[in-house]
Amino acid sequence: MPATTAARDTKTPRHAAIVRVTHWITVVAFFALLISGGGIVISHPRFYLGEVGNVNTKPLFTLPIPASRDTVPTGYHFVMPDDNGWGRYLHFEAAWVLVLTGLVYGIWSLWTRHFWRNLIPERGDRGWRAYSREIAKYLHRAPSQVGDARSYNVLQRTAYLVVIFVLFPLVIWTGLAMSPSFTSVFPMSVVLLGGRQTARTLHFFVSWALVLFLVVHVTMVALAGFWSRVRAMITGRNATDAGAHAEEDA
């Protein structure tokens, strides 16, 4: 690579400022949703299909945990602390923070063509052979180099696209479908899902899919060099970039 090209690459931020800001806001909002959602689930750890579900209805499945209300039959002889009140309030607030942050990121990504440049897999990256090569690459991973650290591979691109365009819209839709005020204005939002209780069950599974993505995401970051990638998401630059700048200054 020519020296001028290398210098230009190291001066280009690994992540734009708006990507870094929206990333960390999303992290905080997601953990707030996860914690508050857990408190809500504990209040009634039974899941149903259809429109109606209560203690007199046969559940689709029941989580093997005690409830925070003694009126919910779980087979345990004690109840958990009831955090349903503050949990619902925090869940509502964090959800809107996440939605607004996502809108800002989405509009910026469309405006700057970030999706096409960094997330849409290239023609040669599509297909099962490309996926197999990337999986093999991660299983036999060598130390990260500048080129690898400055681009998304096909697995990352696909995972981010699924989260952005499938899981996040689904978790928002199913969450809104559980709101009586929202469904009174947009009744088809819950009808299309098969009922309010079905929406709650789908919301639960989509949330766990997002948690699974988070675990895989953090694992991949750790394999690629945890502190280097975290630094890039905070400052916009990799450790290798800092070294290159030091050489330029010298």
* Cβ–Cβ under 8 Å, residues 246 and 28: no
The 3-class SS string of 167-228 reads HHHHHHHHHHCCCHHHHHHCCHHHHCCCCHHHHHHHHHHHHHHHHHHHHHHHHHHHHHHHHH
Q: Is the pLDDT of residue 108 over 80?
A: yes
Q: How many whole angstroms from its chain centre is CA 3? A: 38
Q: How far is Cα 207 from Cα 210, in angstroms, rounded to an integer?
A: 5
pLDDT digits (tens, 9 = 90+) for 141-154: 554 443 444 456 67
Burial class of residue 206, CB neighbours in 10 A (0-12, 13-18, 19+): buried
The tokens describing 105, both together, are: 């990121």
pLDDT, tens digit, 9 for 90 and up, residues 118-166: 777 666 555 556 656 665 665 555 544 434 444 566 777 788 889 999 9
pLDDT of residue 240: 53
A 10 A CB-CB count for 144 gives 17
SS3 46: strand
Which fold does the domain 3-112+163-244 belong to in CATH? Fumarate Reductase Cytochrome B subunit (1.20.950)
Longest dimension (CA), the chain: 75
CA distances from 40 to 59, 69, 155, 168, 239 (A): 17, 11, 33, 19, 42
| H or E, element range at 239 | helix 239-249
Q: How far apart are CA 62 and CA 234, in angstroms?
A: 41
Distance of alpha carbon 76 from alpha carbon 88, whole angstroms: 24
Domain boundaries, the chain: 3-112+163-244
Residue 75: phi and psi, rounded to 5, are: 90, -5
Judged against a pLDDT cut of 80, whether residue 245 lies above it is answered with no
Q: Residue 17 is encoded by which pair of tokens?
A: 């400022």
CA distance 102 to 69: 35
172-229 residue pLDDT tens:
999 999 999 999 999 999 999 999 999 999 999 999 999 999 998 898 888 878 888 8
pLDDT tens per residue across span 44-81: 999 999 999 999 999 999 999 999 888 888 888 888 88
